[in-house]
Chain A
C-alpha cells in the first residue's frame, strides 16, 4: 500500500422521489467531494478537467453549474464528468468519472458508454496511463467546468497508452474513440449505499444498491509483480457487475463489455491492456477453515492475497498479486464487518459464507452502513 489510505464512506442516496437519476447525481457528487477534498489531495488526486453537465435531464432542470447535490444551488447536470490525475503514484494514472441521467449519454458527455450502454443512466469510470508519465487526456483541460472530451477520449501522445476498460485498447470494440467506461447503470432504488476508498496507488468505488449489504465494485490499482518480471505499467482494473458474486472478485476473466470488465496492462506496446483473471487459494475458503481457530485464544479470519494474471491467448500468464495492503480476499465474514482495530471493512455478497474482499476503513468503530447519510464520513 502506498501512502495513507483515505476515503469518503457511508454515503447514502436520498434522491428517490423524483426518479433514480437524482441518486446517480448524488453518487457522482459524493465521489467528486472526496477527490476534491483535503483527503483526496493527500493521496495526490488532482483534477485536470471537468464539465458540470447539461440541462436536458427530465428531473434535473437546472443547467449544471458545479459539482454539488441536485437539490442545492450549484448542482451538476446530466453527463457531468471529471478527470483526475493521481500524482502521488510512482507512475501517475488518470481517472475519468461521469454520471448519466435519464436522457442517456450526450453532449457534454459524449463520446461515451457505460458498460456498453449509451442509453442508460448510471455512473462510469475509465482509467488511462502513459508509459512516459505524461497526460493521456484527449480533451480540453481548462478545468473550469466547461471542458470537452476529444474525439478520442484518451491519447497516447508521443508515448504508449494504456487504457481501461480493456475494450478501449487494441482489438477492442471501442479502440477508435476509447469512450468506454465501466460501472453500475440502470434504475436503482433510493437508499443506495456507497463508499470511495483510495491511496496513492489504488482506488475503489463500492456500491450497495438499495442497501442490502451486497456490493458491486470498481477497482483500479497497482499490483505487485511476481519475481523475475518488471512490468512497465503494473496496473489493473476490474468491475464487478453482479452483487452476488462469490468469490467477490471472481476467479475468472475480466475485460468483457457489459460483464465482468477491467483489464491489465501488457508490456507489449502493441497489446495495450488485456483481459485479466484472478485467483486465490480457495481450498481455505470454507466454513471449516474460516475463521482460523488455531492461533491464539481468539479465532482469526485469514486474509489472502488476490492473485492475477493476463488472460488473452498471445499473452497469458501469472503476473503477481493485487496490493495486499489495500485489497485482500477474506471468507465467512459478514458483509460490512470491520476488523477489530476498525482499519479494514468487508465487502461482497450479503451471504456470510462467501468470499469477499477487505479494504481499508476509517479506524472508527462504526462499520459500513451504521452511520450512513448523504454526506458520508471522511477519513
Chain B
C-alpha cells in the first residue's frame, strides 16, 4: 500500500504582511489559502494519484470581501498572488478510490468570516465546528455502504460546481458522514453541512484570525487513511486529525470500518495526544474540541456515532519508555484501540490501522525514527503520549521553509 504526503508546509505571512494591501485583518488568513492550495496540489499530484485520490467536484471560490485588487474572484486553485488564484470559500471533493470502501472528502477554506457566502454555501450554508463566521479550513468525510458516490452536488469538475441543499446523499445505499453531527440525531443531520476544522481561528488559537508565521502542517495518507498534523505557531505542539479504516475486532462483521478523530486546536497540549477513555469524539452539536465519530459497525441505519479510544497507558512512563528489555532500547509503538461511545451503543470495535497511526511515549514532538519513515506528533513536552504517523524517509522535520512543503 502506497503512503504519500505533503509535509513541512510552513505559514509565510504575519498580520502586517498585507498592511498596504488587503489589510492586516486578512494578513494571516492568507495562510489558510496557502495551506489549502498546497494540499490541493498534493492531491492532484502523481503522489495523490497513486493514493487513488480523484477530484470529482470543486469550486474556485469567490472574490474576497476585502476587495483588494490583489484578491479578486478565484479563477483556479493556485496560490493567492498567481493568475489562477483561489478565492474565498473555495471547496473541493475528493474520492479515495483505492480504499476498500471508497471514501469521499470535502475540503473548504474560508477567510472572510462568512461560511455562508457563495459558493461555499450554494443552497446549503456550510459551517465549521457549527460556526458560520470563524475563518479556517474545514473538512468532512462521507461514504456509502455500497461504495457508491455520496456527493450530492454538481460534478462538472471544472471549478464552478455547486453544492446541493443536502451536501451528501445516501442514494440507494446507507450513508455514513463525518463529523458525527451530520448524522442521525445530529444538529446538522438535515443538510449535513458541518465541517470540522483542519485549522481555524477557533478553539483559543489564531486570535488574529489566521496561523502565525512558522505554523506548520503535515498531511499524510495511504489508500485507507488520511491524517493532518498541525502546529499552530511553530512551537512543536501539534493536534491531529485522522480519518481512516480500523481493523475490526474478531467477530465484529463491521461493514464500514471507518473512524475519524480530531483533537481540536484547543487540544494541542493533550497528553495523550488522542484522549483516552473519558472523551467521546464526535458530538451531536458538532462544535466540540474533540470531534470525529465512527460508523456504526453493524446497524447501518444508525450512521455515524461518537468514538472513544484506548491504549496500554501503563507503559506510558519514563520507566518503561524507552524500553530497554531483551537487549533492545526502543520506543515502543502501541496500537490505538477504538470503540463506539454513544448510548445505547457502547462497544470495543477494534484498532486503528497500526501501519498508519500508533501511540508512542517519551519522544519529542517531530522526532522521527532512524529511517525517517515515521514522525511523532503531539504535546511539545517530551514525556507525553503522542501518535506516530508516516513520514517521507528523507526530510528532517522543520527544515523546509516554504508554504508548498515537501511531497513524497
Q: When chains A and B are docked, how far (Å) is the Cα of A293 from the Cα of B305? A: 14
Residues B346 and A288 in contact, CB atoms below 8 Å apart: yes
Confirm or deny: B339 has a beta carbon within 8 angstroms of a beta carbon on chain A: yes
Residues of B204-242 at the interface with A, using a CB-CB cut-off of 8 Å, are none
Confirm or deny: B330 has a beta carbon within 8 angstroms of a beta carbon on chain A: yes
Residue among B251, B344, B348 with max Cβ neighbours from chain A (10 Å) = B348
Q: Say whether chain B's binding surface is mostly helix, strand, loop, or mixed.
A: loop
B334 CB contacts on chain A under 8 angstroms = 318
Q: When chains A and B are docked, how far (Å) is the Cα of A280 from the Cα of B339? A: 15
We find that the number of chain A residues with CB closer than 8 angstroms to chain B is: 40
Confirm or deny: B171 has a beta carbon within 8 angstroms of a beta carbon on chain A: no
State how many angstroms separate the Cβ of A270 from the closest Cβ of chain B: 13
A229 CB contacts on chain B under 8 angstroms = 325-326, 328
The 10 closest A-B pairs by CB, nearest first: A317-B323, A279-B314, A283-B310, A283-B277, A288-B346, A294-B347, A317-B325, A281-B310, A292-B347, A284-B348
State how many angstroms separate the Cβ of B146 from the closest Cβ of chain A: 21
Closest Cβ neighbor of A279 among chain B residues: B314
A-B CB contact pairs (8 Å), 26 listed: A225-B326, A226-B332, A228-B330, A230-B326, A267-B326, A277-B314, A281-B348, A283-B310, A283-B339, A292-B346, A292-B347, A294-B252, A294-B298, A294-B340, A294-B347, A294-B349, A295-B251, A295-B347, A309-B315, A311-B319, A311-B320, A316-B320, A317-B322, A317-B324, A317-B325, A318-B323
Confirm or deny: B125 has a beta carbon within 8 angstroms of a beta carbon on chain A: no
Confirm or deny: A300 has a beta carbon within 8 angstroms of a beta carbon on chain B: yes
Binary flags per residue of B259-293, CB closer than 8 Å to A gives 1, else 0: 00000000000000000110000000000000000
State how many angstroms separate the Cβ of B257 from the closest Cβ of chain A: 12
Q: When chains A and B are docked, how far (Å) is the Cα of A286 from the Cα of B310? A: 13
Confirm or deny: A315 has a beta carbon within 8 angstroms of a beta carbon on chain B: yes
Residue among A226, A283, A292 with max Cβ neighbours from chain B (10 Å) = A283
Residues B276 and A283 in contact, CB atoms below 8 Å apart: yes
B1 CB contacts on chain A under 8 angstroms = none
Confirm or deny: A370 has a beta carbon within 8 angstroms of a beta carbon on chain B: no
Residues B314 and A294 in contact, CB atoms below 8 Å apart: no
Residues B249 and A302 in contact, CB atoms below 8 Å apart: yes
Confirm or deny: B296 has a beta carbon within 8 angstroms of a beta carbon on chain A: yes
Q: When chains A and B are docked, how far (Å) is the Cα of A315 from the Cα of B320? A: 8
Q: When chains A and B are docked, how far (Å) is the Cα of A296 from the Cα of B249? A: 13
A296 CB contacts on chain B under 8 angstroms = 253, 298
Residues of B92-143 at the interface with A, using a CB-CB cut-off of 8 Å, are none
Residues of A146-176 at the interface with B, using a CB-CB cut-off of 8 Å, are none
Q: When chains A and B are docked, how far (Å) is the Cα of A225 from the Cα of B309? A: 24
Given A281-B337, A295-B251, decide whether A314 and B324 contact each other with a Cβ distance below 8 A: yes
Residues B276 and A294 in contact, CB atoms below 8 Å apart: no
Residues B345 and A294 in contact, CB atoms below 8 Å apart: yes
Residues A300 and B251 in contact, CB atoms below 8 Å apart: yes
Q: When chains A and B are docked, how far (Å) is the Cα of A231 from the Cα of B325? A: 9
Residues B323 and A309 in contact, CB atoms below 8 Å apart: yes
Q: When chains A and B are docked, how far (Å) is the Cα of A289 from the Cα of B347? A: 5
Residues B325 and A319 in contact, CB atoms below 8 Å apart: yes
Q: When chains A and B are docked, how far (Å) is the Cα of A231 from the Cα of B328? A: 11
Q: When chains A and B are docked, how far (Å) is the Cα of A270 from the Cα of B126? A: 65
Q: When chains A and B are docked, how far (Å) is the Cα of A57 from the Cα of B344? A: 60
B328 CB contacts on chain A under 8 angstroms = 228-229
| A317: contacting residue among B249, B251, B315, B344, CB under 8 A | B315
